[in-house]
Amino acid sequence: MMQQRERAQDLVGQRYEVEVGPVAHGGHCVAKHEGRVLFVRHALPGERVVAEVTDGGEGSRFLRADAVEVLEASPDRVPAPCPYAGPGRCGGCDWQHAALGAQRRLKADVLTEQLRRLAGVEPSEVGWDGSVAPAPGDKVAKGQVPAWRTRVDFAVDEDGRAGLRRHRSHEVEPVEHCLIAAEGVEELGVEEHSWPGMAEVEAIAATGSKDRQVVLEPRPGARLPLVELDRPVSVTRVDEQGGRVRVHGRQFVRERAADRTWRVSQGGFWQVHRSAPEVLVEAVMAGLNPRDGDMALDLYCGVGLFAGALAARVGEEGAVLGIESSKQAVSDARFNLADLERVRVEKGRVEEVLPRTGIEECDLVVMDPPRSGAGREVTAAVAGLGPRRIAYVACDPAALARDLAYFRESGYRPISLKAFDLFPMTHHLECVATLVRMG
């Protein structure tokens, strides 16, 4: 077994001079050397680089590599503003070496390719203009980086230093400052403090309130350190079963979006870009165009963001049902929407709960599944309810394209698609597709 593993890695460290081809899903570009495919990070389409293999061997279907020397640079290349970016360094950002406009074009190219390959459609067929829009406030001057990330999960090395993991590695790159972290995160000073015995420290800075929280994950057998940061902060820890336990302060933060305040407890899910909740609610509501009296579903509803927005638009005669698998998120959603009698939130997996609700038809559906997407079973169940419109929120273009193909099998087609750059400097993007029945 050891010999097989060694043979699988026997090209690591080899260097090849290659012409860089198109961008691929995942934050790298495609290149070839003597017929072998390389997925190259830190490169841009059209460049000529020296690529050093980081993963793979003679028997591998493809190799992973880093561009360690740029022989012919793309006009879209810029000096990486982050001192921790580059081959072998922090893996948190994919495109520090690309201008912001170029990053969005690369993301648009990836989305286009996934739509063609997995959904069999052209951008114009799904109502997409081919652009990836920046979030409000992210149109920054040349050479600047948007400080957008309100939740940062810092890894901690054996010496107690906080940092970020290197690409495809458990190794920690200690950092003194994260350029994409929101101001509220950096005000805590997590990187400047020592964290003995901790494996991870998540820093959370709420938007619209002064709430700050850190979530500590101790190494086995370690005791919690005394937390003294640069700003007042609540502390939660991860227990041996992976649950969250309040140490001191509030067990939640209060987020402000869509004209409401949202309780998000114990490090629970909330969009990480400071502008994302407003951007996505606006896109979803524009796509669904709710009417008084509509019956609406919010699937994978989290703490209730879309359910609340829908309830405000369907009126007293309307109704909204949310479904969410996280026990804590369901508790938060019920608390957040307690003043809206027309909203009900059920706990469980969508594919299990939806058939048990007894609902045979509805008017509108919004679904924001995890990165892996909804899948054929859920898309078929949703289509079987005959909604007038469906809004599908996706953070992975491949999962989106696959599920659009499933919806087509069930008689629904997209009439609009909007793409947003809610993860600047990374390869990720967010999309909102609106679907209607064919015919």
Helix (H, G, I), strand (E, B) or coil at 47: coil
According to the annotation, is 300 in a ligand binding site? Answer: yes
Report which of 267, 195, 202, 194 is spatially closest to residue 224, judged by C-alpha positions: 195
Report which of 180, 176, 171 is spatially closest to residue 190, judged by C-alpha positions: 176
Report which of 212, 193, 216 is spatially closest to residue 204, judged by C-alpha positions: 212
According to the annotation, is 271 in a ligand binding site? Answer: yes
Helix (H, G, I), strand (E, B) or coil at 390: strand
The C-alpha atoms of residue 408 and residue 411 are separated, in whole angstroms, by: 5
Give one word for 137, left, alpha or beta, with left for phi > 0 and alpha for psi -120 to 50. left
Q: Identify the helix (H) or strand (E) that includes residue 413.
A: strand 412-421
Residue 319's CB is within 10 A of a number of other CB atoms, namely 22
Alpha carbons within 13 angstroms on the beta-carbon side of residue 41 total 26
Q: Are residues 399 and 378 in contact, defined by beta-carbon separation less than 8 angstroms? A: no
Residue 79's CB is within 10 A of a number of other CB atoms, namely 8
Q: Using N-to-C axis directions, what is the helix angle for 376-383 and 397-409, rounded to 10°? A: 50
Buried b (16+ CB within 10 A) or exposed e, 6-21: eeeeebeeeebebebb
The C-alpha atoms of residue 40 and residue 216 are separated, in whole angstroms, by: 34
Q: Are residues 78 and 42 in contact, defined by beta-carbon separation less than 8 angstroms? A: no
The C-alpha atoms of residue 89 and residue 173 are separated, in whole angstroms, by: 6
The C-alpha atoms of residue 350 and residue 333 are separated, in whole angstroms, by: 16
Q: Are residues 255 and 207 in contact, defined by beta-carbon separation less than 8 angstroms? A: yes
Residues forming the active site: 395
Q: Are residues 135 and 152 in contact, defined by beta-carbon separation less than 8 angstroms? A: no
According to the annotation, is 294 in a ligand binding site? Answer: no
Partners of 21 in the β-ladder: none
According to the annotation, is 368 in a ligand binding site? Answer: yes
Binding residues: 271, 300, 324, 368
